[in-house]
Amino acid sequence: MQKRRVVLTFPYKLIDQPITSYLVKNYDVIVNILRARINPKEEGRLMIEVSGKEENLDKGIEYLKELGVKIQSLAQDIRWIEDRCIQCTACSSLCPTGAIEVDREKMTIAFNKEKCIACGLCIPACSYKAIEILF
Ligand code: SF4
Ligand code: SF4
């Protein structure tokens, strides 16, 4: 069983289609909707966690792409805005993956995108809005 977190962007013509139900039924995966934003007559965005066999996940994602759904890995959607960061390090202790690394000598942080799973735990910790989730 594998889990992937992805952001799906739907063109408006697909917004009212039961795409996630179709995924569950035809590819034997579990879809957990983490966030949704849908504007009628515009595009819709869904942040989902999808679990299942690797082969089924690949096929399900291919099906979505063929429909015209844009797919982004969730980890690509977290942004650290260095200019706003005052290096207080408050966010680092909350990060479960070590994606926010602290240089103890300089007391500065660095964001390692490769380690980020986009859980969003660090976002409310930052009073300076230096970490954003692009959604
Ligand atoms: S979103 Fe989660 S994993 Fe990514 S940097 Fe923030 S706390 Fe760490
Ligand atoms: S909480 Fe915000 S200001 Fe403080 S180190 Fe983290 S990103 Fe920078």
pLDDT digits (tens, 9 = 90+) for 41-87: 778 888 888 999 999 999 999 999 998 999 887 756 789 999 999 99
Superfamily of domain 2-68: ACT domain (3.30.70.260)
Question: How many other C-beta atoms can be found within 10 angstroms of the C-beta atom of residue 55?
Answer: 11
pLDDT digits (tens, 9 = 90+) for 22-31: 889 999 999 9
The CB of 125 under 6 Å from ligand 2? The reply is yes
The confidence score (pLDDT) of residue 45 equals 83
Q: Which ligand 2 atom sits nearest the alpha carbon of residue 131?
A: 7
* Residue 126 Cα to ligand 2 middle (Å): 5
* Residue 61 Cα to ligand 2 middle (Å): 34
2-68 and 78-133 share one fold: yes
Question: What residue owns the CA closest to ligand 2's atom 3?
Answer: 85
Closest CA to 28 of 4, 62, 65, 55: 55
The CB of 78 under 6 Å from ligand 2? The reply is no
Instruction: Tokens for 75, please give them.
Output: 């980890």
Domain residue extents for the chain: 2-68, 78-133
Full-model pTM = 0.57
Write out the CATH class of domain 78-133.
alpha beta
Closest CA to 20 of 44, 1, 41: 44
